[in-house]
Amino acid sequence: MITINALNDVFPILIQGIKITVSVLLASIVLGYLTAFVAGFCRLSKNVILRKITGFYVEVFRGTSLIVQLFWLYYAFPILFGIEVGSNFWAGVLAISLNYGAYMSEIVRGSILSVAKGQTEAATALNMSRFQRMRLVVFPQAVRMMLPEFGNYLILMLKSTSLVSLIGMTDILYYGDILRSSNLSQAPMVYLLVLIFYFILALPLIWLTRKLEGFSKKGVASQ
């Protein structure tokens, strides 16, 4: 009985945080994939400077940890450049999407490079232009290779949204922490519930990842 009552108290409060968690996730997904494609293509560009700069970005963001990047963007960046990132929302979204964008750009690059050379050659033999070869032949196959990996990153991004509570965003975990500090004996149920919330959000992403894996099995000629 006590548990049921406590659940009644806890649930409605936690659910307030869902909106923030989901919006941070969605914004990070969009921006993260965008970053991944832009950076991935830049690293394949013929322009050396572009390649070097993007390479630097990728190595820096893959070489440091997300929580450090988040704090840096939130606390340090505004001091250094005298500009605010906008809000803690944008600091969170930027950190997550730049971090995972860097990782995923390697997937974009690797997938494009691992489309079999014969595919480009066949496209050349059909007299396609460089752009047509990429658009019609290489890229559609590379995307199929990227998809399952991209699916895995969806779940990683979901998990990482919990960090925004550390810079004061009112997400699920934030409300969980509030509840815990007001009544420590509730802590087990509160955090279990928080975990279950995240798991429920993860379920469609897990399902999607499986789907993408199935889809990507067809239609790729890799080296």
Q: Is 100 in the site for other proteins (CB under 8 A)?
A: no
Told to check if 41 binds other proteins by CB under 8 A, we report no
Q: Which of 28, 54, 105, 141 binds other proteins (CB under 8 A)?
A: 141
Identify the residue among 85, 128, 167, 178 touching other proteins (CB under 8 A): 128
**Alpha-carbon torsion, ordered 70, 71, 73, 79, to 10 deg:** 180
Asked if residue 36 binds other proteins (CB under 8 A), the reply is no
Provide the token pair at 208. 């999607």
Residue span 58-87 as binding mask against other proteins, x where in contact by CB under 8 A, dash where not: -xx-xxxxxxxx-xx--xx--xxxx-----
Least distance in Å: CB of 51 to other proteins?
18
Backbone angles phi, psi at 168, to 5 degrees: 85, 15
- The contacts of residue 73 (CB under 8 Å, 6+ apart) are 85, 91, 94, 95
Stretch that binds other proteins, among 10-18, 22-30, 38-46, 118-126 (CB under 8 A): 118-126
Residue from 44, 51, 191, 208 touching other proteins (CB under 8 A): that is 191
The count of other CB atoms within 10 Å of the CB of residue 144 is 19
**Residue 27, phi then psi, degrees to nearest 5:** -65, -40
Should residue 168 be labelled a site residue for other proteins when binding is judged by CB under 8 A?
no
Residue 76, CB half-sphere, CA atoms under 13 Å: how many?
A: 8
Among the listed residues 45, 47, 182, 222, the single contact to other proteins using CB under 8 A: 222
